[in-house]
Amino acid sequence: MGEIDFDGPDPIYVQAAGVLRARIQDGTYPPNRAMPSIPALALELGIAKATMQKALDLLKDEGLIRSVKGRGTFPIAQDDSES
């Protein structure tokens, strides 16, 4: 999943979360390294910043990422998320 299907059955934020999840899993966004900013990710996927924030919130709820105020959003290493 690399694109957003605006006419598809899944909500856009769920699709965006899927794109980011795949990038985390394939190492595009390695653990403990800052991901691109919300505006940059939103622009890249052609969605609103609020929609991207909702996608990131979903990934936080899944334990895949963490946010540090003023520093960015970071993927969590798989072994870190289990402890």
Of 5-19, 31-45, 68-82, which range is least confident?
68-82
50 DSSP assignment? H
Please give the Cα distance from 64 to 35 (Å, whole number): 12
Section 71-75 average pLDDT: 97
**pLDDT at 82 (0 to 100):** 47
**C-alpha distance from residue 1 to each of 15, 17, 19, 50, 52 (Å):** 8, 10, 6, 21, 16
At 19-63, the pLDDT tens digits run 999 999 999 999 999 999 999 999 999 999 999 999 999 999 999
Among 71, 44, 29, 9, which Cα is nearest to 59's?
29
> Does the predicted TM-score (pTM) go above 0.85?
yes
Residue 55 has which token pair? 């996608």
Q: What is the pLDDT of residue 2?
A: 60
